Amino acid sequence: MARFDLPLEQLRTHRSTSVEPENFDPFWESTLEETRAHPLAARFTPEATALRTVEVYDAVYAGFGGHPVRGWFVLPAGSTEPLPLVVEFLGYGGGRGLPHSHLMWASAGFAHFVMDTRGQGSAWGGGGDTPDPVGSAPAYPGFLTRGVEDPNTFYYRRVITDAVRAVEAARSHPLADAARTAVVGESQGGGLVLAVAGLVPDLAAAAPDVPFLCDFPRAVTLGERAPYREVGAYLATHRGSAERVRHSLAHADGVHFAARGRAPALFSAGLEDPTCPPSTVFAAYNAYAGQDKRIEVYEFNGHEGGGPHHEALRLAWVGQRLGR
């Protein structure tokens, strides 16, 4: 795809027009407080696989509303001492899949927790195992408009809360070194990385790749593809709902979470990305409050970003930040 967004020199100074809600911090503080009233109840059950170099555990913990959220916890085989921890969040429509899809981090000597995304897991990959028991008002097919007319019922309030609790659950395992925790993810997973970086103050590293859920005012009008296009399609029918929708989206905008992030951060962007336009990624990067930050730019790539090349770079970068 040809370039369609701002030139690179303008991207480096681009700022979002998203207006931070006055109650942004109290909203998330109360949401997490309500969720933490439910015991975390993290459980790790050994999973029988044909894998020999790693040990796999079927994880489950209490996320938003106390709802059970699943994940995989993968360790190098024979681990006996606490290891640096990598918590991973997944892209839109995917689920935790099968254990053999998650070998890289444990193979490099990390404890690795993969969060299943509630209600997702049927668009690609090996499937998901976490339902979303909360209903919503009428929505456009997909997830981005579920409950979107009220920040309290918005789907991503639940998912972001699940992501914070995933870090807490992973850190509760005796073989996870909580002081050396990184969060990583691509697309939707990258957006969740930013949310967690803004809500969990003691992370050692955050790596949001081609992040989704950023700079909503620009994203929903510039992006021609789902998921952002779901918002425009919804508002084309619900013509009087634009202000309420903007208000809800602002509560989940990665730009506002980025302004609270302090952990060392490695971003990535593809300049030909039609799914998460590069200006929306740079809006979050430019807002990120941490001083130790960098962004890798892939000039001729779309939503795949740096692909395996960036995976190798990220693996080395996380290893340096976590002292591996």
5, 162, 215, 273: which is the annotated catalytic residue? 273
- Tell me, yes or no, if 14 is annotated catalytic: no
- Tell me, yes or no, if 58 is annotated catalytic: no
238, 251, 256, 303: which is the annotated catalytic residue? 303
Give the integer Cα–Cα distance in Å for 245 and 68. 28
Other beta carbons within 10 Å of 160: 27
SS3 for 173-242 is CCCEEEEEEEEEEECHHHHHHHHHHHHCCCCCEEEEECCCCCCHHHHHHHCCCCCHHHHHHHHHHCCCCH
Beta pairing partners, 86? 112, 182
Query: Among the residues of the chain, which ranges form H helices?
Result: 8-11, 24-36, 104-107, 155-171, 188-199, 216-222, 228-237, 242-250, 254-258, 278-287, 307-321
- Tell me, yes or no, if 38 is annotated catalytic: no
16, 18, 187, 279: which is the annotated catalytic residue? 187
Instruction: Report the catalytic residues.
Output: 187, 273, 303
